[in-house]
C-alpha cells in the first residue's frame, strides 16, 4: 500500500480494480485522478518500482549503463544535464550532485521531477499483465540481473 501523503494527482500506481468470481484481484496501471480521495484510493494501490522499461518509456535515455534525462537549452541539441541514474553506484544524481533521498518508485520519481522542473514527467507505462498476487507485488518488469554488467535499479 502507498502512504497517501506521498502521492498527488497524476502519479502512476498499480490499482486494484476489482475481483473475479474466484476472488482473484485484478490490477491496472492508473494515474491518480483529481476527483479521487487520496486516503480511500491509497488503500487499494501499490507503488510501481522504477525499472529500465519504465525509464525508457518516460523519456530517459540509456548510455553506457546509465539513465539520464536532460533539460532543453538554446543552442544545445542534447540539452543540459539534469537528472540521471548511475548504474555503477546505483544512485540518482541531479546534474553531478548525488541525491540524499533516492527514488525507488515511479511516483517518487514523478514528484522529484516535478519539484525540480515544474513539469510533469511523460509516463507511458503500457499494459499491466494481471496475475494472481499473493504476498509481495511482482512489479510488471523484472529488474536487470547484476551479473549483466548493470545493477538493479534500487
DSSP string for 42-76 = HTTEEPPBP-HHHHHTTT-EEETTEEEEEEEETTE
Position 20 in a domain = yes
Position 150 in a domain = no
Asked if the model's pLDDT at residue 133 lies above 80, the reply is: no
pLDDT tens-place string over residues 6-59: 888 899 998 877 766 777 667 788 888 887 776 677 677 889 999 898 899 888
Position 112 in a domain = yes
Position 125 in a domain = yes
Position 79 in a domain = yes
* Domain around 71: 4-137
Asked if the model's pLDDT at residue 113 lies above 90, the reply is: yes
Position 54 in a domain = yes
Average pLDDT, the chain: 79
User: How many residues comprise the chain?
Assistant: 154
Position 42 in a domain = yes
Name the residue among 72, 76, 94, 75 with its Cα closest to residue 85.
94
Q: Coil, strand or helix: which one is 126?
A: coil
Asked if the model's pLDDT at residue 145 lies above 70, the reply is: no
State the Cα–Cα distance between residues 25 and 35, nearest whole angstrom.
23
Banded model confidence at residue 86, pLDDT cuts 50, 70, 90: very high
Position 115 in a domain = yes
Domain count, the chain: 1
Banded model confidence at residue 114, pLDDT cuts 50, 70, 90: very high
Q: Residue 3 is placed in which grid cell?
A: 502512504
What per-residue confidence (pLDDT) applies to 2?
83
Write down the pTM of the prediction.
0.76
What per-residue confidence (pLDDT) applies to 38?
63
What per-residue confidence (pLDDT) applies to 153?
53
Amino acid at each position: 500500500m502507498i502512504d497517501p501523503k506521498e502521492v498527488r494527482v497524476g502519479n502512476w500506481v498499480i490499482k486494484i480494480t476489482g475481483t473475479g468470481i474466484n476472488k482473484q484481484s485484478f490490477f491496472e496501471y492508473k494515474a491518480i485522478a483529481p476527483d479521487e480521495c487520496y486516503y480511500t484510493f491509497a488503500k487499494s494501490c501499490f507503488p510501481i518500482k522504477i525499472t529500465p522499461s519504465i525509464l525508457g518509456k518516460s523519456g530517459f535515455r540509456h548510455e553506457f549503463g546509465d539513465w539520464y534525462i536532460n533539460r532543453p537549452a538554446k543552442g544545445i541539441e542534447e540539452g543540459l544535464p539534469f537528472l540521471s541514474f548511475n548504474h555503477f553506484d546505483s544512485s540518482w544524481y541531479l546534474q553531478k550532485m548525488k541525491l540524499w533521498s533516492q527514488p525507488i518508485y515511479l511516483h517518487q520519481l514523478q514528484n522529484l521531477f516535478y519539484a525540480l522542473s515544474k513539469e510533469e514527467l511523460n509516463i507511458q507505462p503500457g499494459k499491466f499483465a494481471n496475475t494472481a498476487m499473493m504476498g509481495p507485488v511482482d512489479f510488471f518488469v523484472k529488474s536487470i540481473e547484476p551479473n549483466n554488467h548493470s545493477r538493479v535499479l534500487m
